[in-house]
Structure 1
Amino acid sequence: MIVLAYTGVILTVLIWGGNVVAVKVLLNSFTQAQTIGLRLGVASIVLLGLALWRGGWPRWSFRDWLWVAGAGLLGTTLFQNFSVAGIHRSPAGISGLANAVVPIVVVLLGGLVGQRPSRPQVMGVLISLGGMLWLFGQTLEPGSSLSLTGLGFLGLSALAWALYTLANRPLVARLGLLPFVGFATLIGTLPLIVPVLPTLGQLSAPLWAWGLAALSGLLANVFAYLAWANGAQVLGAARTSIWQNLSPLLGFALAIWLLGERFTSGELGAAALTLLGVLVANWPVRARKAVMETAGQ
């Protein structure tokens, strides 16, 4: 079981790292709304089918349905819109940082609701904040490929996912992983897929683009989420979250290799400092309880 959990976590990291590049490629064939709708439409149908197959229609109270709907709108509707908008306006290599800094945002928000961070977490937050401020400063440098708008959308996507993470932990414990994820994703996807349905018949995108959109949704939003949740349960949140630091590094490598992106020394330094802070904040320490469980894309 431990080997299976580690395998799932490592595959998830590889998927999340490559998904940023995949979305960047899809935006050349589809609009932002179509890219989101196609990916999430496939994912929500599969997740809903799994939830119904495993447990049938849930018998939740009206209040539970409101919580699930709110989580879906936050973790799917808002997160996906902000994330893809940020990827569209930023290099793919930098866009992967949004997923990496989610644990930092969770630590900050957790402190506001009474979750006391540990000393390494505080240190990691300060280091990452310094890296993010440096990254924003790079938008003012001549020749930089970064934009304040793009980084702003990526920051909002990290905030939306961090809020969703804090909200879904008690909901998953009470309602179950598959039912909660399946119905929250479906509810959050409806505002994204309904407006683009009339435009799909007019598309002349190549067949491989349709396949990539479906594969992206299945891997990044179905397999990866469930594998990551299983890893957190079997291995513990601390040992699982440490692997997430590899995701943006893989994104950087793929962006340079496949998309030909190039970065200035200042952009690379800022990104490295941000990731260092995430690494420090997530490093497993004996007798420390992790305050975050993150998932991406």
Structure 2
Amino acid sequence: MNHYRENAMAWGALIIAMLIWSSSFVASKFVLVDFTPEQAVGIRLLLAAAATLPWLLIWGREPIKRMRAEHWKWLIIMSLFEPCLYFLAEMNGLLYTSASAAGLVTSTLPIWIAIGAWLLLKERLSRNLIIGLGLALSGTLTMTALGEANVAAPNPLLGNALMVVATLMAAGYVLVAKRLTAELSPWLVTVLQIWVGAVFFVPFLLLNPPDLSTPSTTAWQAMVWLGLVVSIGAYGLYNLGISQVPAQVAGLSVNLLPLFTLVLAAVILGERLNVGEMAGAMLILIGILVAVWPTRVAQSPSK
């Protein structure tokens, strides 16, 4: 009974994390009106670091003392994947592509996680996963090639390419985070990755300091949402989820990302995909379903 309850809690955490994560693509569009990508990420992570400082001082000191050198090594590697390199690619990508397209490209994450497990852990790649990868990549190329430049996506080719890079960084993050959260508290890992990211982006802010008086109220509201709700809430819930289920199973929750993103982008930003982009989106979603179907079947009996 406890096993089922833990799995239910893990999936609840992962689903909420995906809903919050999908909102980050929309919120970032508002932030990027008044900030450069590096400024946006730097301020976002500094807000998150400041908000988590009391937790770190009161509850985090003893767990940190018990961390070994091996833990710190993997924490730095994980944090370089995400938030550092992931956010650099994602925020620059969102300058050039739509929030809807960004969510769709990012939804290929489960496939890249499986490929990472094949390369690093020597896990076998199924035929369905290879076919699914081909379909998903074809969908990304179709959506990019047939995407029309507009205000929301001035350069879909560049933007979607950067989102692919961001997704590769996210795959590396998930693989390492799964290892870390097996031994460390998911919330400790979340807080420490925020601080590593904040330190990483401080030089960007010093080299190009933002004018904090000019951004709109909407931009600041979106920034606070990204810093407090997404950086702390979404990552904390995701780390909690992947600490209780296998990494590839946790990756299945990313299938909800394009649905949540498309709805939020349509309602809040008024984004719409053209016919060619819709065709590419369908290829991506079909590719994901084909790729993860064996995993779904294999995992069902243990639920």
Which range, TM-score by smaller chain? 0.7 to 0.9
Counterpart mapping for 1:267-278 below 5 A: 267-278=277-288
- Cα distance, 1:271–1:53 mapped onto 2, change above 3 Å: farther
Provide the secondary structure at the position in 2 that maps to 1:199.
Answer: coil
Query: After alignment, is 3-12 or 165-174 more displaced?
Result: 3-12
> What do residues 168-205 of structure 1 show as CA deviations (whole Å, max 9, x unaligned)?
22222234323333223211221213432673454322
Q: Is the aligned partner of 1:86 residue 2:93? A: yes
8 Å CA contact retained: 1:74, 1:188: no
Counterpart mapping for 1:105-184 below 5 A: 105-113=112-120, 114-138=122-146, 146-184=155-193
CA RMSD of aligned residues (A): 2.9
| Correspondence for 1:249 among 245, 249, 259 | 259
8 Å CA contact retained: 1:50, 1:178: no
8 Å CA contact retained: 2:46, 2:198: yes
Q: Return the alpha-carbon distance in structure 2 between the equivalents of residues 214 and 142 of structure 1.
A: 29
Where in structure 2 are there 5+ consecutive unaligned residues?
A: none
Identity of aligned residues (%): 27
Q: Which runs of 4+ in 1 moved over 6 A?
A: 141-144
Q: Is the aligned partner of 1:228 residue 2:238? A: yes
Q: Return the alpha-carbon distance in structure 1 between the equivalents of residues 174 and 237 of structure 2.
A: 16
| Correspondence for 2:209 among 181, 194, 199 | 199
Amino acid paired to 2:219:
A
Q: Return the alpha-carbon distance in structure 1 between the equivalents of residues 170 and 34 of structure 2.
A: 26
- Cα distance, 1:91–1:285 mapped onto 2, change above 3 Å: closer
8 Å CA contact retained: 2:83, 2:194: yes
| Equivalences, count | 288
Amino acid paired to 2:224:
A
Amino acid paired to 2:32:
L
| Correspondence for 1:68 among 63, 68, 75 | 75
Q: Return the alpha-carbon distance in structure 2 between the equivalents of residues 240 and 63 of structure 1.
A: 24
Amino acid paired to 1:256:
A
8 Å CA contact retained: 2:114, 2:248: no
Q: Return the alpha-carbon distance in structure 1 between the equivalents of residues 10 and 72 of structure 2.
A: 30
> 1:295 maps to which residue?
none
Q: Is the aligned partner of 1:260 residue 2:270? A: yes
> What do residues 114-172 of structure 1 show as CA deviations (whole Å, max 9, x unaligned)?
02134443332232122123234325x78886532112211111111112222222222
- Following superposition, the deviation at residue 286 of structure 1 comes to 3.9
Amino acid paired to 1:105:
W
- Following superposition, the deviation at residue 61 of structure 1 comes to 4.0
Instruction: With the length of structure 2 as denominator, give the TM-score of the two structures.
Output: 0.82
| Correspondence for 1:190 among 194, 199, 210 | 199
8 Å CA contact retained: 1:101, 1:158: yes
Amino acid paired to 1:188:
G
8 Å CA contact retained: 1:48, 1:186: no
> 1:28 maps to which residue?
33
Instruction: With the length of structure 1 as denominator, give the TM-score of the two structures.
Output: 0.83
Q: Return the alpha-carbon distance in structure 2 between the equivalents of residues 195 and 233 of structure 1.
A: 32
Q: Return the alpha-carbon distance in structure 1 between the equivalents of residues 291 and 226 of structure 2.
A: 29
8 Å CA contact retained: 1:9, 1:227: yes
